[in-house]
Chains A and B, each alone.
Chain A
Amino acid sequence: MADVIGLWISAILTIMITTLAWKETPVSKTAEHIYLGVMTANTLVQAWGNINSVGIQKIMSGQIMYIIPVVLGIMAYARYSKENFWLYRYPIALVVGIGVGTAMSGLVGGKVLDQIKGSFWSLNVPGDIGASVNNLIMVITLVSAMIYFIFTIKAARGPLMTQLSAFGRYAMMAAFGYSFANTIATRINQYAGRIAFLMLEWLQLG
């Protein structure tokens, strides 16, 4: 019985929020507000779960130092006070420092060094002219796309550099075309799931 009720609630909410794409009506606004309420609530529930398991449970099991992040987390709410706003700076400073320290170390390797190392493609692959041509195209595309983003060096404005920059722009448009086609595929797949739910699970047509 609970499953049947749940199925009907799901179907009705699905149809209600689909109407938002058509135009804004009381039906779609109702669904929109319920959506915002339940999604925010879920975020709060999950956040509480983490505070409890990683913070409070650890304190109660004897790891007293976990009082520090709990106190700092409570201090974060000082952002809503004009007089005590400065208290918020302590937790946010730590969060930013931790985030920057974690990400920056990996950026050097992952986003720069490994990417550059991986871009030394062989321009003469023995016995495979296709791969050699592909690698040449990749090198030219990579270099010209990077030249496109150089705005501050005068030498990058010369005739050869301008041509390379134009080629880089065209290559990036091709890449964005690929990205756009994939975005369409993503959205279609997402909606396909909803149509499959309505027709096969709710209406049981298939």
Chain B
Amino acid sequence: MSQRTIRRQIPLALTFIVGMIITANWFIDAAPLGALSNTITNFNTVMVAFMMGFAGVNILMIHTRRIQRNMGQGNTVDSVYSVLLLGTLIIWTLLGIVMGRSSDTYQWLYTNVNLPLSATAYAATLFYLASATYRVIRARSTETTILVVVSVVVIMGNMPMFVTYVPALLTIKSWIAEVVVTAAYRAITIGVGLGGILMGIRTLLAMETGFLGGTEE
């Protein structure tokens, strides 16, 4: 068996085989096929869980290199941040694995460290959005004027204060959602669906092989 067969063609064949088993299970109601399909999707859970570890490995590699580079340049201040990150990563991971992810200790750590950081990091994007809204959203053309007008109406329709005094705002907002947005996004959804089906077929038939990565054949 050549190297190309082992390194490229067998993986592509496996993609086709498992993809067809799962697709066949959708259309054929047979208990053995269903059991096989369930087992394969369970296998997927384990494999994806392993691949979630790439995040940790990548961070370790990037920040270890950064520490080496910064120390080599005599820049200890920037190294401190990387050390802090790696230290937090390693200690937190060990605590979670050793104490258990459902333990009270890990729950306390999550609630008082992860949660405020995560919640606020997402929430702070409000300021970027407000800045963009103020500086960038301009009624420069017909299209952007429509965008601005609809945005204003819907923002007002989302606020109970305005809806209390102008109930028509809720009606207009609902009309925009159920008529204009539904129809426009449905067109996009159908297009995306057709594209997705074509990409799926191309992937299963080994016409799209980018996911294999690497440069050698």
Contact = CB atoms under 8 A, between A and B. Distances in A.
Interface of B: 6-8, 10-12, 14-23, 26-27, 39-57, 59, 61, 81-82, 84-93, 96-97, 101, 106, 108-129, 133, 137, 142-144, 146-155, 158, 175-194, 196-197, 200-201, 203-204, 211-214, 216
Contacts of B196: 103-104, 107, 111
Interface of B is mostly: helix
Contacts of B120: 13-14, 17-18, 194
Contacts of B43: 66, 68-69, 72, 94, 98
B124 A17 contact: yes
B126 A188 contact: yes
Contacts of A104: 19, 23, 196-197, 200-201, 204
B82 A102 contact: no
Interface residues of A, number: 115
Contacts of B175: 134
B119 A145 contact: no
Nearest to A105: B26
A153 interface: no
30 contacts: A2-B108, A9-B112, A10-B112, A33-B81, A33-B84, A33-B88, A34-B85, A34-B88, A37-B59, A40-B55, A41-B89, A43-B52, A47-B49, A54-B46, A72-B47, A76-B47, A94-B15, A96-B15, A97-B17, A101-B21, A103-B200, A115-B186, A119-B186, A134-B179, A137-B179, A170-B142, A171-B183, A178-B176, A184-B151, A191-B124
A20 B116 contact: no
B191 A149 contact: yes
A157 interface: no
Interface string A190-201: 110110010000
A168 B128 CA distance: 30
Contact of B113 (A34, A70, A118): A34
A151 to B, nearest CB: 12
A170 B47 contact: no
A45 B106 CA distance: 10
Given A111-B196, A138-B182, A183 B129 contact: yes
Contacts of B177: 178
Contact of B49 (A51, A173, A177): A51
A20 B85 contact: no
Contacts of A174: 146-147, 150, 176, 180-181, 184
B22 A105 contact: yes
Contacts of A46: 52, 101
A181 B47 CA distance: 39
Contact of A145 (B176, B183, B214): B183
B18 A97 contact: yes
